Amino acid sequence: MKFEVDELQSTITGTITDSDGVPLPGANVVIKGTATGAVADFDGNYSIEANVGDVLVFSYTGYTAGEMTVGVDSVINVTLQEGLALEEVIVTGYTTETKRETTAAVSIVKAEELAAIPSGNVEQQLQGRVAGVTVLTNGQPGTTSQIRVRGFNAFGGNAPLYIVDGVPVTNIDFLSPDDIESAVVLKDAAAASIYGARAANGVIVYSTKQGSRNAQKTQFTLNVTSGVRDPNVNGATDMLNPQDMATWTHIGYENNAAANGTAVAYTHPQYGSNATPRLPDYLHASSAAADGTNLNGVVGNIDLARVQAAYAADPGNTFLIRPNLAGTNWYKEITQIAPITRVSLGIKGGTEDGRFYVGLSGQEEDGIVLTQKFQRYTARVNSEWDVTPWLSIGENFQSTYRSTRAIFGDGGGVESADDESEVLSAFRMPTIIPVYDEFGSFASTKAAGFNNGRNPVRRLLQDQGEDQSYSIGGFGNLYALVKPVEGLTLKTSIGAGYSNYHFVNYGFKYFGDSEPQASDNFQEGSGYAFQWTWTNTATYEKLFGQHKIKLLGGVESLNTGAGRQMQGNGINPFSTDLDFQNLSNVQSPNVSSFQFKGVNFFSLFGQVDYNFDEKYYVRGVIRRDGSSRFGGNNRYGVFPAVSASWRAIEEDFLQDVDWLTDLKFRAGWGQMGNSENVDPNNQYSLFASDRGNTFYPVAGQNSGVNEGFAQSRIGNPDAKWETSTTTNIGFDASFLSDKLEVQLDWWKKDTEDLLYQVPLAAVTGNYASAPSVNIASMSNSGLDFQITNRGTLAEDLTYTLTLNSSFLKNEITALAEGIEFFDIQGQRGINPVRNAVGQSISSFFGYNVIGYFNSQAEVDSAPAQEGMGVGRFRYEDVNGDGAITPDDRTFIGSAVPDFTGGATFNLRYKNIEMETLWYASIGNEVFNQSKWYTDFFGTFEGSAKSEVAKRSWTPELGNNAAAPIWESAANLSTSGAANSWYVESGDYLRLQRLAFSYSFDNNLLDKWGLSTFKLGIAANNIWTATKYSGLDPGVAGPDTNFGVDLGNFPVTPSYLINLELGL
């Protein structure tokens, strides 16, 4: 904006405010083209000497600069508007800067985006919104996600560093989305190397909401979101109904006989011995016959009175199960429509001496699986107050109560999955078995012929339904700001986090399974953890004519979390009522405790920023970190970075290019460290006592005194930091008055000295664990792209379209001398993952299926292959030696996507707004090992099988068959090895959000005494396009073994309504 007046005036005063009339303390006033300037005080007041005709330039971080020409008036009040992209504030935790000033690769996610989709962890909101950030999550409430910034840098510990209000934390599950103002993702060394040894995996800086100084009134904001999650997802496997299962069981016996050259024997105890199977009237009836014997495959002849009497006497060991002839849909039985509710209240304001924000929130969310529940209640207070004109103190503090029930895996984390999960159990449980028996007890697999499936409904309602964890704690920081002279700011901040937690698990005895649970068991534990951070910084900023310099120096010490935990377990407590359970009334109690000291860091860091005429920018960063994870030989590491940018738009030769609003080129190089992939005890050689325990302590070997000590760990005091060297080249451009913005970055990250546990020589024995040593390297490179287009389609109809995309190439470039790969132990003898030099991390490795043996002639003429036979897998002879051996295994897929991207489209007509968010992942594969359980007749024979059976190999289908011949054989040519048949495309496109909202007119708001009244509806994760046959193609896992689907918990649709009221 520009205003002109024509009369002489020497002293100009006024007030600088924002659009709400709130003063902007510290705003700059400069006479254009000179070094003469002034800074507004805490009330936004300024005073400057100027001549008529001088142009005053008013600027404030995060706001669009304004210009006014001095004329007749001695008072010039200015209102600055919030800036667009170039003036967005970037909070790094130590400093703030505008996007105009940055020389680094950063992305900003705003508050409304972080709160858009209700979840127990706000990190899930980054999916599809930030180029270069990969987010894998699941549908369990309150669980963690797998976040990777620009690829995978190590064999573990690849999660980014989180900073909350300047304090580093390991996770952010305690944060309420409605308390967050913004999230800034620092992606390259120029942005993140100020955090040195913990920044190699990227840094995500969260800033919580603050109040406003000199606010005209205290503002109240109420947000209420409520809705449901729907368990129905694409890809749920269709299972054989009971009659089809009986038929295909007999077909399996017939194929077995043909392969073995023997007579057919129909041996299933429930389906009869004739060629045509029949379904029984009862599956199992304890004490049902007149002589008291147990009956299987019973047709009639049930003494119901006898069974009823036996059940009354011993309900836990008496069963009368009538088959469900229509078939039980076990996935449907274990899932439910799950309610979600989140309520938050924000209060913010301020006076001339300070500002404050108070946030209260509560979220309750049921899981789509029975009994799952997540609760979180938070209270936050942020404030800052002036004690003197040169001293301010403030705090950011939050208390949190959090509880979960029946969450699967290690803390419910997305990286936890195994074949005992209830999701996979639902597809292994025979459909002929109902949920309940005739007396209302849970039915299960005690009847012969159904293998060892366990009723997942019973496990959820009786066992996992009682597994609960609780935590209560506080987190925050207290800081002081001192401004002894103009331009110099000293800050000291003490941050801390404390958590006290308790968990309890209970399992009921149950004799209905083929592998019964013979006793009640009880487990509980509790503990605490305390972390702290002390940061001291000095910042000096000075403008010398056209030169501006900003210096930052600091010292920081912290502990990542120390504490203690005690836990115990036992069997057969005197009561099954949990209100009366404790470790003093169980049999065979086993109590243990342990303590953890956390990891200590001590750091020195500095940063220099220089710009000339807001045209040329240079930054230098250096940080020296010490960590207790490493021995004295390599405890400290030094991490430098340099970067520069050129705002070409300020050059004279571009001043007449009207369609170009801004153009900036950036380049940076730097090093960052990582130490998360090493045990803090790695530097020490340790010894442990042992009782000589056995897996089956039939003679009581697992009790009594310790037999002695043995070395449990071989230490490595010479281990050192993993170091990532990053190069980034990019540009930012905007066109047509910011209607079109483009950001492009090419980057490369090479990580050296990767820590890895090299297997020990056999002479060391098998008790001691190997140390981690620095022997490997890995490379990531890619291209990040983001484009934003804003425009008007018609009167009052505006839109904003943002596209972001990221291309990634990951490669292991070296392992230890003489080691070219290491394999990961899988489930059920299927080991599909190999990490090898020249390949991406977590690559799939196995035999390449080129079809099936469609005739005996093909079998006879093919290279020798163990278990080869008609209808079985036919493998490629990769090395051409005439025999299929382990040497013919090859790389058959990668879990690392080549491309990820997101698209948001907002359309606004007057007071109505529509928002869509899309996410895509392309170029990765999934190893769908859940098919091992459902698509082979011989794996856990008798358990449920999928309808793939109907498309298994026959002479007519040949190589078009969906699975090998339906038979019991388990060998290399059937279900006995990892091969490409399991590998499926993991590509998918998902509509993550479709939302509509209506904001009431200001006239009505004034009449009602409100500042905001907004109603909205939203549908999330409602449509996914994919060829993947499982529940969800977004499969995570540990870094060296992800992308393997073992019945992973799916992301499911949700439907919500939202109310926002402002006062």
The C-alpha R_g of the chain, in whole angstroms, comes to 33
Alpha helix locations (H) across 883-937?
930-934
Tokens for 278, please give them. 């029949």
Q: Which residues partner with 601 through β-bridges? A: 558, 627
Q: Amino acid identity, residue 93?
A: G
Dist. CA 414–CA 418, nearest whole Å: 11
Alpha helix locations (H) across 143-299?
189-192, 242-260
pLDDT surpassing 60 at residue 698: no
Dist. CA 82–CA 532, nearest whole Å: 36
- What length is written for the chain? 1063
pLDDT the model gives residue 7: 44
pLDDT in tens, 712-725: 888 889 999 999 99
pLDDT surpassing 50 at residue 6: no
pLDDT in tens, 256-311: 999 999 999 999 988 988 999 999 888 876 655 555 555 556 666 677 777 788 77
Dist. CA 372–CA 369, nearest whole Å: 6
Q: Indicate the pLDDT class of residue 457, thresholds 50, 70 and 90.
A: very high
Contact in structure between 92 and 539 (CB atoms under 8 Å): no
Residues with Cβ within 8 Å of 82's Cβ and at least 6 positions away in sequence, in order, are 18, 19, 62, 63, 64
User: What mean pLDDT value characterizes the chain?
Assistant: 88
C-alpha to C-alpha distances, 127 to 152, 204, 229, 595, 902, nearest whole angstrom: 17, 13, 19, 36, 8
Q: What percent of the chain has pLDDT over 90?
A: 59
pLDDT the model gives residue 288: 55
pTM score, two decimals?
A: 0.88
- For the chain, domains (ranges, CATH) are 11-83 (2.60.40.1120), 338-683+719-847+896-936+975-1062 (2.40.170.20)
pLDDT surpassing 90 at residue 1006: no
Over residues 603-632, the mean pLDDT reads 94
DSSP state of 847: B
Q: Indicate the pLDDT class of residue 677, thresholds 50, 70 and 90.
A: confident
Q: Which of residues 121 and 61 earns the better pLDDT score?
A: 121
pLDDT in tens, 1010-1053: 988 999 999 999 999 999 999 999 998 888 888 999 888 889 99
Residues with Cβ within 8 Å of 684's Cβ and at least 6 positions away in sequence, in order, are 713, 715, 717
Task: Report which of 985, 964, 1029, 975 is spatially closest to residue 844, judged by C-alpha positions.
Answer: 985
pLDDT surpassing 60 at residue 382: yes
Dist. CA 369–CA 423, nearest whole Å: 9
Q: Is the dihedral of CA 749, 752, 756, 762 positive or negative?
A: positive
pLDDT surpassing 60 at residue 701: no
pLDDT the model gives residue 300: 64
Task: Report which of 2, 62, 53, 54 is spatially closest to residue 27, judged by C-alpha positions.
Answer: 62
Q: Degrees (nearest 5) of the Cα angle 157, 162, 167?
A: 125
Dist. CA 506–CA 897, nearest whole Å: 40
